[in-house]
Homo-oligomer: A and B are copies of this chain.
Amino acid sequence: MESKLYKEIKDRFTEYLTEKKLRKTEERYIILKEICAFSGNFDINELYEKINEPVFHISKSTVYNTLGLLLKAGLVVSHQISTLSVKYELKRLAETHLHLYCTQCGMVRDVKNSNLKSFIYAMQTPKFTPEFYSLYVYGICWKCEKKLKKKVKNGNKKAL
């Protein structure tokens, strides 16, 4: 099933490949299709596993390569939050998203906020042409907060 979103973004990717005289390979479109099926952020491993399940084989190099192309084409954005994981997201979705990052468990939750875009683009940024933004809010998620409260009750004063 080809989603409406995929169809639209696929066309823009094709335009990009044509303009830059790059090849339209099957792998690239398979990767893009799987990316469009995510509703929010994902990392390279989630994408890699999804693509190669259960059979078709596309190497990690190619996944990296294609993600790089999509970043350059402005169709995907990357969020590097912690040392251990780069998250990617369709630019289209990311534009109205902000990202809640739990500093305890590393969870990232995307939250929609439609005021954000206009607020940010209304700001002055001298000598700089903005193209995109990303907002991370760091804090503690609900689950971790519960766990922490338990610990405090038990008199555990160590470890934040």
Contact = CB atoms under 8 A, between A and B. Distances in A.
Interface of A: 19-20, 72, 77, 80-83, 86, 98, 100, 102-103, 109, 111, 113, 119-120, 123, 125, 127-142, 145, 157-158, 160
Given A103-B131, A120-B137, 4 more contacts: A83-B86, A100-B128, A128-B139, A133-B136
A137 B125 contact: yes
Contacts of A135: 120, 133-136
Contacts of A72: 160
This chain's copy number in the assembly: 2
B131 A139 contact: yes
A127 B142 CA distance: 5
A84 to B, nearest CB: 10
Contact of A119 (B20, B81, B119): B119
B134 A139 contact: no
Contacts of A160: 72
A113 B125 CA distance: 10
A149 to B, nearest CB: 11
B125 A139 contact: yes
Contacts of A140: 128-129, 131
A137 B123 CA distance: 10
Given A83-B80, A100-B128, A128-B109, A136 B138 contact: no
5 nearest A-B pairs in the assembled complex, by CB-CB distance: A127-B142, A130-B139, A80-B80, A131-B139, A132-B138
